[in-house]
Amino acid sequence: MINIKNLHASVEGNEILKGIDLRINAGEVHAIMGPNGSGKSTLASVLAGKEDYEITEGSVSFDGKNLLDMDADIRAKEGLFLAFQYPVEIPGVSNVNFLKLALNEIRAYRGQELMTAREFLTQLKEKSALVELDGKLKDRSVNEGFSGGEKKRNDIFQMAMLEPRFAIMDETDSGLDIDALRIVAKGVNSMRNKDRSFLIITHYQRLLDYIKPDFVHVLSDGKIVKTGGPELALKLEEKGYDWIKEEVA
């Protein structure tokens, strides 16, 4: 599905990603953990197509296509989704209107038929029920005045609507109460299938209790320094990152 090779990225001359190698196959769920500032969100942004970063080395292929050559919207149209660590508020842009436009642009790109208003409404109902998003939130401006948890839920709701093939979730669990966490996990799990992959960035083992990853990676100082199974997350929760740093040193 996605193959990241020796990826280096800098911002304003500072190298933040220092050679990332990561391969995620269709149907797999990978988790990335790592200390604050290690580059997790940077990796997510670079994959999603944010232009602030300069890619100095390496490559990323997405189903055989060169991901780094694509504009952010093309990546979305190809099936990539990023749930943001800090979803922005966009006053004046209605959640529903923009989703409808996005969905139809994506469908047009994929050569699918455009959604009828009726189909869209059905989807809207179904998917917002899935993440138990308060009906009123859909009709408001994107994230405007939403609580931290509501913003995260809105992102997952959008993911459910857009049905990506590869979803990156950047600390979707932070700021969620226990119930919301379960709901979000339920949403993700219901979308899991053999063709769809996830990259889950988190600081807490707790989320991984709900969404069982196939692999857990540790990102530290711009590199993946350790990879293991779900048990690695448990160990990190218990011991922190110091032992890995020592191991690496």
Partner 1 sequence: MSLTETVSIMNVFEAFQPATHSGSTRIDKVRAEAKAALELLPIPGRKTEAWKYTPVTPLVTHAWKPAKEGAEVDLSTLDIPHMDAYRMVFVDGYFRAECSDEHLPENVVLLPMSYAKDAEKENFDSVYGKQADHQKDLFIALNTAYASNGVFLRLKKNSVLDKPVHVIHVYTQADTAVMTRNIIIAEQGSKGEMIHSSIHRAKPIHSNVVTEVRVEDNAHFVLDKLQGGTDSSFHFSGEEVFQGRDASTTINTITLAGAWTRNEPHIRLKGSNSICYLNGAYFPTGKELIDNHTVIDHLVPHCESHELYKGVVYQQSKGVFNGKVFVRPDAQKTNAFQQNANIVMSEQASMNSKPELEIYADDVKCSHGSTTGQLDREALFYLQCRGLNYVAAKQMLVHAFVGEVVDRLTSLELKEYIWRKLEEKLA
Task: Using CB under 8 A, pick the residue from 15, 57, 105, 221 that binds partner 1.
Answer: 105
Instruction: Compute the least distance from the CB of residue 62 to Mg ion, in Å.
Output: 22
Burial 184-218 (b: 16+ CB within 10 A, else e): bbbbbeebeeeebbbbbbbbebebbeebebebbbb
Task: Using CB under 5 A, pick the residue from 38, 45, 85, 154 that binds Mg ion.
Answer: 85
Q: Return the residues of window 141-180 that contact partner 1 according to CB under 8 A.
A: 141-142, 158, 162
Whose structure tokens read 């100095």? 56
CA distance 22 to 229: 14
Told to check if 41 binds Mg ion by CB under 5 A, we report: yes
Q: Return the residues of window 176-215 that contact partner 1 according to CB under 8 A.
A: none
Told to check if 11 binds ligand ATP by CB under 6 A, we report: yes
The count of chain residues that interact with ligand ATP, using the rule CB under 6 A, is 13
Told to check if 38 binds Mg ion by CB under 5 A, we report: no
Instruction: Compute the least distance from the CB of residue 36 to Mg ion, in Å.
Output: 8
Told to check if 114 binds partner 1 by CB under 8 A, we report: no
DSSP 165-228: SEEEEESTTTT--HHHHHHHHHHHHHH--TT-EEEEE-S-HHHHHHS--SEEEEEETTEEEEEE
Q: Which is nearer to ligand ATP, 52 or 195 (CB)?
A: 52
What is the enclosing helix (H) or strand (E) of 93?
strand 90-94
Told to check if 220 binds ligand ATP by CB under 6 A, we report: no
Residue 225 binds which entry of Mg ion, partner 1, ligand ATP, none, CB below 5-8 Å type-dependent: none
CB 132 within 8 A of CB 56: no
Told to check if 73 binds partner 1 by CB under 8 A, we report: yes
Task: Using CB under 8 A, pick the residue from 33, 46, 99, 160 that binds partner 1.
Answer: 99
Q: Which is nearer to partner 1, 72 or 225 (CB)?
A: 72
Told to check if 31 binds partner 1 by CB under 8 A, we report: no
Helices assigned H by DSSP within the chain = 40-48, 72-78, 95-109, 117-130, 135-139, 148-162, 178-191, 205-210, 230-239, 242-248
Can you read off the two tokens belonging to residue 96?
């529903």
Residue 92 binds which entry of partner 1, Mg ion, ligand ATP, none, CB below 5-8 Å type-dependent: partner 1
Instruction: Judge residue 14's burial from the number of C-beta atoms within 10 Å of its C-beta, 0-12 exposed, 13-18 middle, 19 or more buried.
Output: exposed
Residues at the interface with ligand ATP (CB under 6 A): 11-12, 16, 34, 36-42, 52, 85
Residues at the interface with partner 1 (CB under 8 A): 48-50, 71-73, 75-77, 81-82, 84, 87-88, 90-93, 98-99, 101-103, 105-106, 109, 141-142, 158, 162
